[in-house]
Amino acid sequence: MKEIVIQPSITTPTTSLVIGEHLLEGDLLIDFCKKRKHRIVIVADHALQDVYASKLADHLNARLLTIPSGEKAKTKETAEMIENELFKSNYGRDTTLIAMGGGVTTDLVGFVASIYMRGVDLILIPTTLLAMVDASIGGKTAIDTTFGKNLIGTVYFPQAIITDLETLKTLPDKEWINGLAEILKMGLIADPSIWKIAEKEIKNHELILKAIRGKITIIEQDPSEKGLRRILNFGHTIGHGLEAISCYEMSHGIAVAIGCVIESRLSMKLGYLSEKEFEQIRSLFHRLSLYLPNTYDRKKLIEAMLYDKKNINKQTRFVMIDRIGHAIPFDGDYCRPIAEHELEATLIWMEKTYG
């Protein structure tokens, strides 16, 4: 694949988002770092130390710190550990932090970069499909708290995002679904060409590029999250509810994939989406082997959805599509409330299909 550079205006100060292969071994990062004359610290997911991070640290003559793998690391304590390591070695404002890993690493290191000395430069190297197409795009950083996920955070744009597709070669099979679900969601809400490619071949580099462009285009049109950006939440009303009732045992990808099918079915039942297109959607997601968590309970799911950020007056609101590749604007709200009996009927279908 040819190296592709995207220069999104929303991500000013991000000078570039480079997508390609073998980017970590070449001169790209060296040139980038030389220009700034900064001290470089790579903060990487521990699982990547031997495969990529140590090599990159040698290549850039940079300090390497690692953090434990998994969501459990996305805490105030890990952020503090990174800050303390930086303070101990007198790293000042002339520091560039490089985050290498999945969304946990990019969120956490992005957060530290945004607050250390009131903000130091940041480069993201996303290494999971989810981080490439979703977590690294849009400038949101976060850590989790005991009160909930992502409750503390900032909006802070990196100077560069280097997406090296080679790193996907070591990504475990079970991690792919998380990115795939977001890519297919983008196909449903905004880009029918994603859907066409995915129907033929689901692990295709073109899909990654299109999903990244899709997210950037949506954010650029609604930077302050007033309306359009809600469409990124398609599949997530049900998806977040399912994850919550599984106590986060269920993967985000499987939950969102089921959510996309169910929210498409609601769109069909309300007369917006054709039966033929719903069938196409159901059948593509069927290839991903979806199943409900064993903690599933309809009442609990409906209750969990009451915490959805789109709700008004305790009414659950859903993003709807009227064809593959198009979310319905609903006068700029991009979502609408659904009557409880409609929702229940669709959940009964979900239980029969994925239970």
Ligand X SMILES: NC(=O)c1ccc[n+]([C@@H]2O[C@H](COP(=O)([O-])OP(=O)(O)OC[C@H]3O[C@@H](n4cnc5c(N)ncnc54)[C@H](O)[C@@H]3O)[C@@H](O)[C@H]2O)c1
Question: In Å, how far from its chain's centre is CA 130?
Answer: 5
Considering only residues 165 through 194, tell me which ones interact with ligand X, judged by CB under 6 A.
Answer: 167, 170-172, 175, 178
Active-site residue among 21, 182, 263, 277?
A: 182
Q: Is 15 in the site for ligand X (CB under 6 A)?
A: no
SS3 281: helix
205 is catalytic: no
Residue 140: CB minimum distance to ligand X, A: 4
Question: In Å, how far from its chain's centre is CA 224?
Answer: 18
196 is catalytic: no
326 is catalytic: no
End-to-end CA distance of the chain: 40
User: How would you list the strands of the sheet with 39-45, edge to edge?
Assistant: 4-6, 16-20, 160-164, 121-126, 95-101, 39-45, 63-67
* Region binding ligand X by CB under 6 A among candidate stretches 70-78, 264-272, 309-317, 343-351: 70-78
Residue 176 or 195 with smaller CB distance to ligand X: 176
118 is catalytic: yes
- x/- string (CB under 6 A) for ligand X, residues 116-135? -----------xx-xx--xx
From the list 19, 66, 67, 102, which residue makes contact with ligand X (rule: CB under 6 A)?
102
Strands (E), the chain: 4-6, 16-20, 39-45, 63-67, 95-101, 121-126, 140-145, 148-155, 160-164, 317-318, 321-323, 326-327, 336-337
Q: Respond yes or no on whether the N-terminal peptide bond of residue 337 is cis (omega within 30° of 0).
A: no
d(CA 240, CA 252): 8
Q: Is 47 in the site for ligand X (CB under 6 A)?
A: yes
Active-site residue among 35, 118, 169, 352?
A: 118
Residue 21 or 107 with smaller CB distance to ligand X: 107
From the list 19, 96, 107, 159, which residue makes contact with ligand X (rule: CB under 6 A)?
107
236 is catalytic: yes
Asked if 139 and 122 count as a contact pair (C-beta separation under 8 A), the reply is: no
Active-site residue among 3, 80, 206, 225?
A: 225
Residue 103 or 214 with smaller CB distance to ligand X: 103
Residue 32 burial by CB count (10 A; 0-12/13-18/19+): exposed, middle or buried? buried
Binding site for ligand X (CB under 6 A): 45, 47-48, 69-71, 74, 101-105, 107, 127-128, 130-131, 134-135, 138, 140, 149-150, 167, 170-172, 175, 178
Q: Active-site positions?
A: 118, 140, 182, 215, 225, 229, 233, 236, 240, 252
